[in-house]
Structure 1
Amino acid sequence: MRYVLAMDQGTTSSRAIVFDSVARIHAIAQQEYRQIYPKPGWVEHDPHDIWQSQLAVAQQALVKANITARDVAAIGITNQRETTLLWDRHTGKPIDNAIVWQDRRTADFCAQLKSQHEQLFRERTGLLLDPYFSGTKLAWLLDHYQDARKRAENGELAFGTVDTWLLWNLTRGKMHATDVTNASRTLLFDIHHNRWDDELLDVLDIPAQVLPQIFASSADYGYTAPDIFGAPILIGGVAGDQQAALFGQACHAPGMVKNTYGTGCFMLMQTGDRACESQHGLLTTSAAQLDTQPVFALEGSVFICGAVVQWLRDGLGIIKSAAEIEALAMSVPDSGGVYFVPAFTGLGSPHWDPRARGAIFGLTRGTTHAHIARAALEAIGYQSAELLLAMQKDAATPIKELRVDGGAAANNLLMQHQADLLGVPVVRPRIIETTALGAAYLAGLTADVWNGTKEIAEHWQIDRVFEPMISRDEAAQRMFDWSKVVRACNPWGMD
């Protein structure tokens, strides 16, 4: 039996999963780490927390699986995207905390850029000028630390998203690299030609010397330093979490769609070799690539999904664990007219409003914790429904089903609500850890654990299908009511 170790570095926790050659899970280890909120709208992580937590769970997973490094054919890395780090090439020491993808500090800068450069960035990168992406975060770091830009120009500093930071540490600084999917989320990458773009770098005043080398998602990224796991292990695959999940869901053909319910919600449709430009607030992005041939996807991004459940636990204290929310929400027949818009860090697709803020509407004296919990779950479904409706408008063919994964996909109440709103079957696979599985598949292809996408697709199995149970008229009315409360989340009309 050959094994693949998947490192799944997420926004609120680091995970590691050991898969065997028939895609069965042999061990899982997970560790939450600290979230840092220095100012309203700012979100940071300590880079050492990211690395140490990911290293710890990877080592724990091998112990749990009762295997050693010599039993592991390859490591696959998947990661929270857009989170931005900058560190010293010689010491490996970060210049400050990582700026997390949820962070809004560059909203004003993005607004300034839009007036002159919006179309340029849209055409080259497939993205919108929004503080969500890495490029303006990197520019902010270079602007706010003494001599940072000069040091970057001199080749003294290294930029990376989380995958690059993990690769650097796993190889003890030998690899400063990223894959096409993570590069495609930086605002610095030409998705059509698979390369850093000099004109975009010039607009943001970012020296090319600071950038990592770009590889395919399934490729030889070198070996881990021998002391980390007791023996060197090939790093055979890297992909941003959402593209990894698309690959892990066996969405290898154009028109196939998946939605991941993690800290945020991210819906991707595979579009093959066609970079489909959205007319309805979605993004065009690179999908996981096995070679130099570009592969694309349409993406809708919801910034707050599972994070709203975490807030109910840590902020309001109405649940003790995330697992409690379904039972609490099911204790009432509906939300009692309560709507919860969790725009804690602005609104993503299809609204792209960085200044919107969260709100709860429809409160009465009869509102209970259960109504708020149900409204929070329903908000996840409403936001995801907005994405699919936009995707259906952009797509050339009707969407037949939605494949789902991520932690909240285990919530039956949410999945039924999702199917009701969408009007298409919601299909949950037996393995909902498809982000990690996608990373494992990419690495395993490099190490010849699997022969190709056809073999990978044969491992995908259905757990449950949720069919729509309400009329299309009722679903449309619910979405109309949701749209009204969303518009109220920027009451000052701020740009």
Structure 2
Amino acid sequence: MEKKYVLAIDQSTQGTKAILFDTKGHLVCRQDLPHTQWINEKGWVSHDLTEIYQNTIQAVKNVVEASSISKEEIACIGISNQRETSAAWKKETGEPLADAIVWQCARAEEICAQIRAQGVAEQIREKTGLNLSPYFPASKYAWLQEQVEAVKKAKEAGNLCLGTIDTWLLYKLTKGAVYATDYSNASRTQLFNIHTLEWDREICGWFDIDTENLPKVCDSSFSYGYTDFEGYLEQPIPITGVIGDSQGALFGQGCVEKGMVKATYGTGSSVMMNIGKKAVLSESGLVTSLAWGLHGKVSYVLEGNINYTGAVITWLKEEIGLITSPGETQELAEAANPKDQTYLVPAFSGLGAPYWKPEAKAILFGMSRTTGKREIVKAALESIAYQITDVVEMMKAEDGVTVRGLCVDGGPTKNEYLMRFQSSMLQTPVCLPDCEESSALGAALMAGITYGLYTMELLTHHSARQQFQPAMMEDERNEKYAGWKAAVEKVL
């Protein structure tokens, strides 16, 4: 039977999506399943690995059945994933040894502090492109080994696998036959040397990580192995693309040339710029990572990561009850007093780029007696745009960098108030793609190119469907942004 579809699995912080794309890269059908966010009184954030895997299998079944296609028409699979979330499992059985530590979780800060005291933080940054932080898996893996007895015993017995969620899914989907990751995910662990393209044994030693317990690193465009989704398919099909969600969005939006920039608005946000074939270390608070490995060649990116963007809207709904659905935020923000000077600094688990202050605490700053529900919702939405602006301003400050526009994706981009405000803060156009599922599309395109179903030319066919232009005078913009910077200073 003719192979007509690419199946993308987009395993994100909030849930798992299974999405089918046709031979022209158009989205045919999507099915989602959420998973539980486990947050304890210390603010530690965890995910159940078994739930994630089971949801992956079920989401695939759901999308095939909802689309009414034949299973035999699926050519290949691409995987995109929440990147820094860290997992440990038994090598022999694939049994999880602990809940996954989510990228937002800063529980390993003490480990980072100990390593920082050794005076090696700058060496780590030079080798990995990443500032020493509990955000990244290196310290999370170390914490699991120190604090979880089952992980400690598995390491001693030579029965330990450490990996990000792409590696976990590859291992489970292939029944333990494939223990691998791609360059984009490896470069986010803080254990991978982005210059030599190898696990760095010296850094691994500082974190007490055995390289034997880390996966093989491959191109993002690579034939990883086969799966039948626990017998759901009559014949196994190949997994031919793996890429971290933010890099997947960059690829899906066609940002394959140097200087192109995108921002993913998810639970957190990644602002990413393609910097070409050579690694350039930022001196202004950004990090350098690998974009992908494609046809045996790697590309690099500058990136700024923000802990709380879309999650701020979740906070409005679930923790303080100001809204019952995300869609309410636009109307409330538009009805708010435009002269209200309230700022929310959402440092619920510290501040990421460009501040890198994991100990920072969230604040509402600048409220008056007339500040109410609408003004707080407005402040929450605007905090998303301010944080994105912080990172883009840093990119502008890098030598030789010109940002001509921002490509965006993710659920919060549906909020027109947020997009208009974002464009005004950046004083540059904000462009939305024709496919909202940029991360999944990037994984599908990577897989389809590897399989031979797609060509590189297909990347240029997903043009912007909507643009937002700056709608604020420069003086007003500068005054608002200065107020934001003053609010941030209160938590640093």
What range describes the TM-score normalised by the shorter chain of this pair?
over 0.9
Is the counterpart of residue 238 in structure 1 residue 242 in structure 2?
yes
Instruction: Report Cα offsets for 1:167-210 as digits up to 9, x if no partner.
Output: 11111111111001110011110111211111111111111221
Show the counterpart of 2:115.
Answer: 113
How do 1:398-413 and structure 2 match up within 5 A?
A: 398-413=402-417
> Aligned letter for 1:418?
Q
Show the counterpart of 1:203.
Answer: 206
> Aligned letter for 1:276?
V
1:147 Cα deviation from its structure 2 partner: 6.6
Tell me if structure 2 keeps the 8 A contact 1:335–1:372. Answer: no
Identify the match of residue 63 of structure 1 among 58, 62, 65: 65
How do 1:228-377 and structure 2 match up within 5 A?
A: 228-334=232-338, 336-377=340-381
Tell me if structure 2 keeps the 8 A contact 1:158–1:210. Answer: yes
Instruction: Report Cα offsets for 1:121-160 as digits up to 9, x if no partner.
Output: 1111000110000011001111123374463254311111
Is the counterpart of residue 141 in structure 1 residue 113 in structure 2?
no
Instruction: Report Cα offsets for 1:360-402 as digits up to 9, x if no partner.
Output: 1222332222111111110000000000000111151311111
Tell me if structure 2 keeps the 8 A contact 1:404–1:432. Answer: no
Q: Identity, % of aligned pairs?
A: 40
1:474 Cα deviation from its structure 2 partner: 2.5
> Aligned letter for 1:471?
M
In structure 1, what is the Cα distance between the partners aligned to 2:151 and 2:467?
52
Show the counterpart of 1:101.
Answer: 103
Give the unaligned 5+ runs of structure 1: 491-495
Is the counterpart of residue 189 in structure 1 residue 174 in structure 2?
no
Show the counterpart of 2:468.
Answer: 466
Give me the TM-score of the superposition, normalised by structure 1: 0.96
In structure 2, what is the Cα distance between the partners aligned to 1:95 and 1:171?
19
> Aligned letter for 2:140?
K
1:42 Cα deviation from its structure 2 partner: 1.0
1:9 Cα deviation from its structure 2 partner: 0.6
Tell me if structure 2 keeps the 8 A contact 1:170–1:228. Answer: no
Instruction: Report Cα offsets for 1:286-322 as digits up to 9, x if no partner.
Output: 0022133221000011110100101111111221122
Tell me if structure 1 keeps the 8 A contact 2:171–2:178. Answer: yes
Show the counterpart of 1:27.
Answer: 29
Is the counterpart of residue 151 in structure 1 residue 154 in structure 2?
yes
In structure 1, what is the Cα distance between the partners aligned to 2:223 and 2:387?
38
1:255 Cα deviation from its structure 2 partner: 0.2
Tell me if structure 1 keeps the 8 A contact 2:31–2:63. Answer: yes
In structure 2, what is the Cα distance between the partners aligned to 1:206 and 1:104?
19
Tell me if structure 2 keeps the 8 A contact 1:238–1:439. Answer: yes
Q: 1:299 to 1:366 in 2, by over 3 A?
A: same
Show the counterpart of 2:42.
Answer: 40
Show the counterpart of 1:380.
Answer: 384
Is the counterpart of residue 5 in structure 1 residue 12 in structure 2?
no
Show the counterpart of 2:227.
Answer: 224
Identify the match of residue 426 of structure 2 among 411, 422, 427: 422
Q: Which has the higher strand share?
A: 2
Show the counterpart of 1:49.
Answer: 51
2:441 is paired with a residue whose SS is helix
Q: 1:390 to 1:72 in 2, by over 3 A?
A: same
Tell me if structure 2 keeps the 8 A contact 1:335–1:374. Answer: no
Q: Which moved more, 1:143-152 or 1:339-348?
A: 143-152
Give 4+ residue runs of structure 1 displaced > 4 Å after superposition.
none
Tell me if structure 1 keeps the 8 A contact 2:98–2:151. Answer: no
2:124 is paired with a residue whose SS is helix
2:263 is paired with a residue whose SS is strand
2:470 is paired with a residue whose SS is coil
2:311 is paired with a residue whose SS is helix
Is the counterpart of residue 173 in structure 1 residue 179 in structure 2?
no
Q: Which moved more, 1:260-269 or 1:59-68?
A: 59-68
Is the counterpart of residue 163 in structure 1 residue 166 in structure 2?
yes
Give me the TM-score of the superposition, normalised by structure 2: 0.96
1:228 Cα deviation from its structure 2 partner: 3.7
Show the counterpart of 1:451.
Answer: 455
In structure 1, what is the Cα distance between the partners aligned to 2:35 and 2:150?
31
1:333 Cα deviation from its structure 2 partner: 4.6
> Aligned letter for 1:270?
N
In structure 2, what is the Cα distance between the partners aligned to 1:335 and 1:142?
51
Q: Which moved more, 1:241-250 or 1:422-431?
A: 422-431
Q: Which moved more, 1:237-246 or 1:224-233?
A: 224-233
2:38 is paired with a residue whose SS is coil
In structure 2, what is the Cα distance between the partners aligned to 1:39 and 1:122?
32
- Aligned-residue Cα RMSD (Å) equals 1.5
